Structure formats: C-alpha cells, structure tokens
C-alpha cells in the first residue's frame, strides 16, 4: 500500500523505497526518507500530541509569520506563526498514486480551527495542502481560498527543517547580493555579498523578493550532498538556526540539536498578500535531494 492512513498521521511510500509522514496536526510533514535515509529534522523533544506546534519537519505558517509587528494588522491577535500549525487538518485522500509518484491532500477551513483562534482571526477560508513524493523529490503545495465576503491579508511560509550531520559544514547558495532583514541584529537591513551563507552563530534572516530560481543547501563541504529548493510563488525566504543560547531556551528542542538542523523557509512574509473574496492563491516548494 503506497499510503497508510493511521489515527494521527498518514505515511506515503513510493515504489523505490522512499517515504514521507504527515501528521493531521498542522498537516506537518514530520519525515521524508530517501530510500531509508531521513532528510528532515524533527527534534527528539518535539511534542506530537497536539498541545504545541511540532518542532521540526515542515510546519505550515499561516496567516501570520512571527508576531505581527503592526498592532493594527488583521492578524495581530494571533499567536506567533499563526493558526495553521496548531490546527488539526482533515484528511482529503490520495490524489495521485502511480508508478513514479504518490500524492495526498489535507484540508482546513475556519470552522475546524480551535475556537479561541477563530476569534483571533474571524475570517472564512479554506486551505488545501498537497504533499507529493517521488523518490528523491518532495513537493509541498498550499492553496488558500478566501470564502469570506470581504478581502483578507495573510502571510504564508513553509517552515522547512532540514536534517544535517554538522551545521558547521553547511552552506546555503543563491542568496548572494540580496538584501535581508537581520532579526538577530535588531531588524536592520543588510546586503550579503558572500557567495554562500554559513553558520557560526545565531542566524535569523528574512530575505525579501529572492529572484534566484534555485536555492542550494549544501549539506557538507566534503561531499556533493545537497538540497535543491525550487520555490513556486513564494518570493521570500527565511534562513534560521537558533544556535546555542536560543536552543537552551526552547523547551521542545534539545540543547545540542542546533548542530543537526538548518531551516530554509520559502514564504511570502515581508509583506501581506491580500486576497479578495472568493479568490484563491497557490504556492509551494519542490525539494530535490542530490547525493
């Protein structure tokens, strides 16, 4: 069976032995294995019981990235990173199942969101999240429909945690000469001239309007192992590693785990997207594992 539907999650398996797991909680992809090798980071301290957002994998950030900085924003009352990652999605079934590809869908509408969050953002909407597995390639796609009578504003981001053996050997290419907001340095705007981003300290950057088609995450400077990240309709990109002190302050993250992960998160977060009544927006990412 290429798709196993369990009580708390769905497991996808393709014909070549790759697999992926998606929890209904947040429709969070928590595992992607290329022929048995895990490619996504999931903290061993992550709660998976629906009491807190999952720490790792690919949480969906919607409709607010971080906390709104403008208190008059429509999403200002929502908690950090919005409501999708802490809402239980419904299982919408298998959409593709053939020799080369398996694809599944999850849905969330406003009435399925926990009640306190519905009050924080009283909009009518429908999300459809599609996860497609094809051997060395994982595709995650989100569509947002405004089912309200008035327009609404939203951010969206696929908060992807990659598993890496040693963060000191990781480099991210494709962001050269692009300006970013440095959240570690009081939100100053910086242009990075370096060929690649390397990690030697806490890193929390929002790259806006990234023109590069492919962002390359080199897993190690000693091999050709890399992730090729293609963004679809997601113009911004967040790069994050909490490093030593932040890691110690997170209850659902082990002190040393910052060495084993890097987040490269395609999104639309520098500005809000405004969606008119009855209109839809769609975006996503295609990640290929090179080895």
80 is in an annotated binding site: yes
Which is nearest to 34 in space by CA: 52, 11, 17?
17
Element (H, E) at 71: none
The count of residues in the chain is 291
Closest contact distance (angstroms) between CB of 289 and ligand BG6 is: 22
Closest contact distance (angstroms) between CB of 269 and ligand BG6 is: 8
Choice from 130, 131, 265, 272 touching ligand BG6 (CB under 6 A)? 265
Q: Verify whether residue 81 is a known catalytic residue.
A: no
Q: Any contact of residue 272 with ligand BG6 (CB under 6 A)?
A: no
Q: Which residue number, 221 or 271, has a Cβ lying nearer to ligand BG6?
A: 271
Q: Which residue number, 19 or 28, has a Cβ lying nearer to ligand BG6?
A: 28
Exposure of 248 in the CB half-sphere (CA atoms within 13 A): 3
Q: Which residue number, 80 or 280, has a Cβ lying nearer to ligand BG6?
A: 80
Cα–chain center distance at 54: 11
Q: Any contact of residue 159 with ligand BG6 (CB under 6 A)?
A: yes
In angstroms, the CA 114 to CA 14 distance is 34
Question: Beta strand pairing status for 137-146 and 280-290?
Answer: antiparallel
Query: Cβ(11)–Cβ(18) under 8 Å?
Result: no
Q: Any contact of residue 236 with ligand BG6 (CB under 6 A)?
A: no
Closest contact distance (angstroms) between CB of 239 and ligand BG6 is: 8
Query: What residues from 68 to 97 belong to the interface with ligand BG6 (CB under 6 A)?
Result: 80-81
Q: Any contact of residue 199 with ligand BG6 (CB under 6 A)?
A: no
85 is in an annotated binding site: yes
Q: Any contact of residue 204 with ligand BG6 (CB under 6 A)?
A: yes
Q: Where are the alpha helices (DSSP H) in the chain?
A: 115-120, 243-249
Cα–chain center distance at 281: 17
Q: Verify whether residue 265 is a known catalytic residue.
A: yes
Closest contact distance (angstroms) between CB of 161 and ligand BG6 is: 10
**Dihedral of alpha carbons 115, 117, 122, 128, sign:** negative
The label of the residue with tokens 């999850």 reads 106
Residue 55: partners with Cβ closer than 8 Å, 6 or more residues away:
42, 43, 45, 46, 47, 250, 252, 253
For 188, the token pair is 């100053």
Choice from 25, 240, 243, 258 touching ligand BG6 (CB under 6 A)? 240
- Selecting among 21, 74, 101, 265, the annotated active-site residue is 265
Question: Beta strand pairing status for 29-34 and 19-23?
Answer: antiparallel
Closest contact distance (angstroms) between CB of 155 and ligand BG6 is: 11
- Selecting among 159, 173, 222, 257, the annotated active-site residue is 159
Q: Which residue number, 159 or 231, has a Cβ lying nearer to ligand BG6?
A: 159
Closest contact distance (angstroms) between CB of 282 and ligand BG6 is: 21
Task: For the chain, state the CA radius of gyration.
Answer: 18
Query: What residues from 96 to 115 belong to the interface with ligand BG6 (CB under 6 A)?
Result: none
Q: What are the residue numbers of the active site?
A: 159, 265
Q: List contacts with ligand BG6 (CB under 6 A).
A: 53, 66, 80-81, 159, 183, 204, 238, 240, 265
Annotated binding site for substrate: 55, 80, 85
């Amino acid at each position: 069976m290429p798709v196993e539907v369990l009580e708390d999650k769905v497991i996808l398996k393709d014909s070549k032995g790759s697999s992926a797991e998606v929890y209904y909680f947040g429709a969070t992809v928590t595992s992607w294995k290329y022929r048995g090798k895990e490619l996504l980071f999931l903290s061993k301290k992550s709660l998976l019981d629906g009491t807190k957002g999952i720490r790792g994998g690919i949480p969906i950030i919607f409709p607010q990235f971080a906390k709104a900085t403008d208190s008059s924003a429509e999403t200002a009352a929502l908690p950090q990173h919005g409501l999708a990652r802490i809402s239980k999605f419904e299982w919408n079934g298998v959409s593709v199942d053939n020799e080369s590809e398996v694809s599944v869908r999850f849905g969330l509408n406003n009435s399925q969101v926990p009640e306190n969050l519905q009050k924080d953002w009283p909009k009518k909407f429908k999300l459809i999240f599609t996860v497609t597995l094809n051997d060395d390639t994982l595709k995650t796609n989100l569509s947002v429909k405004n089912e309200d009578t008035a327009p609404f504003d939203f951010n969206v981001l696929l908060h992807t945690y990659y598993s890496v053996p040693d963060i000191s050997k990781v480099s991210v290419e494709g962001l050269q000469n692009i300006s970013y907001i440095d959240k570690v340095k009081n939100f100053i705007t910086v242009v990075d001239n370096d060929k690649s981003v390397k990690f030697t300290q806490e890193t929390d950057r929002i790259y806006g309007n990234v023109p590069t088609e492919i962002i390359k995450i080199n897993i190690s400077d000693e091999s050709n192992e890399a992730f090729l990240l293609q963004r679809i309709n997601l113009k911004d990109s967040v790069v994050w590693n909490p490093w030593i002190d932040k890691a110690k302050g997170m209850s659902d993250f082990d002190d040393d785990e910052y060495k084993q992960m890097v987040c490269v998160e395609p999104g639309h977060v520098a500005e809000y997207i405004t969606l008119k009544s009855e209109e839809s927006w769609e975006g996503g990412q295609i990640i290929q594992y090179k080895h």
